[in-house]
Structure formats: C-alpha cells, structure tokens
Amino acid sequence: MNKKIVELLSFIKSSKYREKIIVFIADETKIPSEIAKGIRLSYTHTSKHLNALKKKKIVTCLNENAKRGRLYQLTKLGKEILAILKK
C-alpha cells in the first residue's frame, strides 16, 4: 500500500463520520441533507466532513455552482479506499 493511501485511510479512520459518509454514498450520489439524515449527523457537521473529503479528493461535488441540492459521489480514489476499508 502506498504512502498516500495510508495517509488517507488514517484521515478517514480518525473520524467515524467520514467513514460513514463514504460508505453511505458508495453506490449512488446523494445531497448533504440525505447524507446527514442517513448517518444521523447534523447538516452542518456533514457539510464540514464533505468539504474535508472533497479537499482530499475522496468525494466530488457534481454541481458545485448549485446553491441547493449539491450532489456528492465518491471519486475513483474514494472507491479504492472504500474497497480497502471493506476488507
């Protein structure tokens, strides 16, 4: 496993909510309110974690310019990390 993957795994595992988010959006795109409700976390905290995951290129926002209804999905890197977490 390369150093970048190890660092990202550590980043995700250091917060149970980051891990919950990537598992929750594994198979389909979701908006933040769906994610917040699905993992039982406040909308504000969900947005904070989504932004952190986006900065690390684990998730991507498909419609960044939208004021409401932003869609998030895993990137290729995010899917790779999820596969490692599921082992």
Q: What is the pTM (predicted TM-score) of this model? A: 0.92
DSSP secondary structure letter of residue 30: B
Q: How far apart are CA 55 and CA 49, in angstroms?
A: 10
Contact 31, 72 (CB under 8 A): yes
- Ordered by where they begin, the domains of the chain are 3-85 (1.10.10.10)
pLDDT tens by residue, 27-55: 999 999 999 999 999 999 999 999 999 99
Contact 78, 61 (CB under 8 A): no
